[in-house]
Amino acid sequence: MAANFMRILFGKRAEALQEEDGSRGSYAKMIERREDDVDRLTARELTFMMMRDSFYMATITDDDWPYIQHRGGPRGFLKHIEGNRIGFSDYGGNRQFVSAANIDDRQRIALFLMDYPEKRRLKIVGTAHWQTADQGDPLWDHLVDPAYPVENQRFFLIDVLGFDWNCPQHITPRYTQAELKALQQ
């Protein structure tokens, strides 16, 4: 578990419950060993991220309600920009704009990436903003996949502040049709 992820998400009540459970000491030691304000993405996280063709994205409404949404696209549509910045093209959908509005208001975001066959998951927290194509950012060409024939409405940029590799418990392996075919050969 990365230290800044714990600093961000372990509030006073979580720490109290950890204390009651007996796990607080080990988490406190993990946090003390790291002084960085940001958990640095490594090749492990970036490779995992770029192998996904979907993820779940959580934001917060202006009334403090959590909002989660599925994002999908071609494998690798979630891309590394530089350092701890990642991004993705936002494909046309239901036109509710809840996530975009939430990011305008709060900028806080969490991503939940799953590898069901390997029973691995990566949680990411950070701050985000979005831009439309008409804003002329050169990142547009980096984030848009011309081979994926859908409307690209905007792109999201995320500055990753923390991440956590979660344990594989209780993950039911699931396979795409292509993965099943490969297993049968």
DSSP state of 164: E
Q: Which residue has the higher pLDDT, 108 or 141?
A: 108
Q: Domain check: are 12 and 90 in the same one? A: no
> What mean pLDDT comes out for the span 138-154?
88
Q: Domain check: are 25 and 114 in the same one? A: no
> What mean pLDDT comes out for the span 110-131?
97
Q: Determine the pLDDT at residue 1.
A: 56
Q: Domain check: are 25 and 95 in the same one? A: no
Q: Return all residues near 20 (Cβ < 8 A) that are at least 6 apart.
A: none
Nearest Cα to Cα of residue 158 among 73, 87, 82:
87
Q: How confident is the model at residue 64 (pLDDT cuts 50, 70, 90)?
A: very high
Concatenating the DSSP letter of every residue in 90-116 gives EE--SS--HHHHHHHHH-EEEEEEEET
Average pLDDT in the chain: 92
pLDDT digits (tens, 9 = 90+) for 81-96: 999 999 999 987 778 9
> What mean pLDDT comes out for the span 19-43?
85
Q: How confident is the model at residue 134 (pLDDT cuts 50, 70, 90)?
A: confident
pLDDT digits (tens, 9 = 90+) for 34-48: 766 678 999 999 999
Q: Domain check: are 180 and 104 in the same one? A: yes
The CATH number that applies at residue 106 is: 2.30.110.10
Range of the domain at 49: 39-184
Going across the sheet that includes 152-166, the strands are 66-72, 54-60, 108-115, 120-132, 152-166, 85-91, 79-82
pTM of the model: 0.91
Helix (H) or strand (E) holding 138: none
- Residue pair 128/154 in contact (Cβ under 8 Å)? The answer is no
Q: Domain check: are 48 and 13 in the same one? A: no
Q: Domain check: are 28 and 54 in the same one? A: no
